[in-house]
Structure 1
Amino acid sequence: MDDRFNTAAGWVLFSGIVALGLSSVSAKYFQADKPHRPHEMGYPIEGVAEEGAAEAGPSLAELLATGDVAAGEKAAQGRCGTCHTFDQGGGVKQGPNLWATVGEPIGKGKAGYAFSSALSGHGGNWTYENLDEWLKSPKAFAPGTKMSFAGLSNGQDRANIILYLKQQGGGPELPKPEAAAPADDAAAAAEGAAAGDPTATAGPAEKPGPEAAGAVAAPAADGPANTNKGDR
């Protein structure tokens, strides 16, 4: 009787040890103590951006077209005025004078100021796109730069400052925003593509003329002029 009791007790103890070991192994395998974000969110959470999501918003050309020079002057003087002057013939501070900066070669052309090799060897000109990237993050644009400014995350603020810099000494013509296709034209093109018509375009649909039903349509050259102008 004692032998059978001892045997049963031994198996119970052995089963408990095995169960405890499996529990420890499974916890490490599934990292139960380190919860992670699921691959697909069940519902959107405000302030949590999807991984790999592209930065949305107006283009630089659109921001420049709607920008405010006065706001740019205020932002430039407030954020950059400690290290830079902006007027023609202005002196060098911790950074160079920024008169006539827009369009000039990067890291060159500023009398009395020695640029770091990160800028002097960068190449290219201060285009609107380069200025935007520089103001967004100087260290990302030119790794090793002496510029200690962290950058501006707001695209409209950057566009306003660029407009002010253009006012201080001029620069190339501003880029033109791309005109959005009319909704009706885009819908017509989508329908044509869905129907398998490779010649479908986003042109405006022609309205039937005043001819009686069954009459042959007049050639396109004789029809009314297209009033869908590209300029808005």
Structure 2
Amino acid sequence: MKHLMAGLAGLLLAAPVAMAQDADGDPAAGENDFKQCRTCHAITDADGNDIVKGGKVGPNLYGVVGRQAGTYEDFRYSDFMIAAGEAGLSWNVEDFTVYVQDPTAFLRDYLDDPKARGKMAFKLMKEEQAADIWAYLVSVGPGGES
């Protein structure tokens, strides 16, 4: 419940805010840092063109900016990730950078459930890298292609 109001506000503001959310990150550094993400994630545009060929263990990250968590059609999410999305979680720079540093802790806090866990086990060690990867995802997403 603690994130419900913030989540609703995020849904209303997602489009204009999403494009500005790369301000603190370096997309070029994020492109390099994304190499550790591509083991599990690809970035494939809506026409099926690979921006980054990657694994299929995680969801496609094209268009993740502003996307409601747990809703990418071609991926089977944990019930907890779906619940977080239904509770208002739409990906933004703040939540993304916290999530990728400790996905389980993030979900447990977001859902206020000590048993919550997602499928992502990888933890990104540096907050700066998370911000850079976010900036890169913004730059290669819909409307931000470079």
TM range, normalised to the smaller chain? 0.5 to 0.7
Write the letter of the residue equivalent to 1:84: H
Q: TM-score when scaled to structure 2? A: 0.65
After superposition, give the CA deviation of every residue in 1:138-189 in whole Å (9 maximum; x if it has no partner): 111123111110232x221111000011112148xxxxxxxxxxxxxxxxxx
Q: Which has the higher contact order (CA 8 A, sep 6+)?
A: 2
Partner of 1:156: 128
Write the letter of the residue equivalent to 1:151: L
Deviation at 1:111, TM superposition (A): 2.4
Q: Secondary structure at the match of 1:81?
A: coil
> Are residue 111 (structure 1) and residue 52 (structure 2) matched?
no
After superposition, give the CA deviation of every residue in 1:195-223 in whole Å (9 maximum; x if it has no partner): xxxxxxxxxxxxxxxxxxxxxxxxxxxxx
> Are residue 140 (structure 1) and residue 105 (structure 2) matched?
yes
Partner of 1:15: none
Alignment of structure 1 residues 75-114 onto 2, 5 Å: 75-76=33-34, 78-88=35-45, 89=48, 90=50, 93-108=56-71, 110-114=72-76
Structure 1 runs of 4+ with >6 Å offset: none
Structure 1 gaps of 5+ residues are: 1-62, 172-232
After superposition, give the CA deviation of every residue in 1:23-69 in whole Å (9 maximum; x if it has no partner): xxxxxxxxxxxxxxxxxxxxxxxxxxxxxxxxxxxxxxxx9535321
Q: TM-score when scaled to structure 1? A: 0.42
- Kept after mapping to 1: 8 A contact 2:104/2:118: yes
Alpha-carbon distance between aligned partners in 2 of 1:144 and 1:155, rounded to the nearest angstrom: 21
Work out which of the residue numbers 83, 97, 109 in structure 2 matches 1:121: 83
CA RMSD of the aligned region, Å? 2.4
Alpha-carbon distance between aligned partners in 1 of 2:79 and 2:138, rounded to the nearest angstrom: 25
**Of Structure 1 and Structure 2, which has the larger fraction of its residues in helix?**
2
Larger radius of gyration: 1
Alpha-carbon distance between aligned partners in 2 of 1:64 and 1:120, rounded to the nearest angstrom: 25
- Kept after mapping to 1: 8 A contact 2:23/2:135: no
Alpha-carbon distance between aligned partners in 2 of 1:132 and 1:95, rounded to the nearest angstrom: 17
Alignment of structure 1 residues 1-232 onto 2, 5 Å: 64-76=22-34, 78-88=35-45, 89=48, 90=50, 93-108=56-71, 110-123=72-85, 124-142=89-107, 143-152=116-125, 154-170=126-142
Between the two proteins, the alignment pairs up a number of residues equal to 107
